[in-house]
Amino acid sequence: MTQTVCDLTSRKCKPCEGGVAPLTRGEIDNLLSQLAGWAYANGVIAKTFAFKDYYQTTAFVNAVAWISHREDHHPDLSVGYNQCRVEYKTHAIDGLSENDFICAAKVDALFSL
């Protein structure tokens, strides 16, 4: 059964303390194909979100922080006046896990509100 973005947004992140293998390139490509605008490079998935002004950017950052807290899975954020770059990687396994894609889908859903 192929997962869809809707499937990813309805899932919860699983605790990851290491000891599991990172996703393979095939698994990454499959999950990445379900996310619009996300790219894989240098071991992370990333997307830059554009906004009208700093207020909208910081509101988005705070909402991403809330999602991250709820999922206990935290991205690296690069914040500018009217943009925010979101990068996911599961540091405990030094690679990507399904958690990264679950959170990316939830961030996309947030952005579309």
What the block records as the tokens of 66 is 């809330």
Q: Which fold has domain 39-113?
A: Gyrase A; domain 2 (3.30.1360)
Rounded to 5°, angle at Cα 7 from 71 and 25:
80
pTM: 0.89
pLDDT of residue 10: 78
Radius of gyration of the chain (CA): 14
- pLDDT averaged per 10 residues, the chain (length 113): 63 78 96 96 97 97 95 96 97 93 94 78
Delimit the domains of the chain by residue range: 39-113
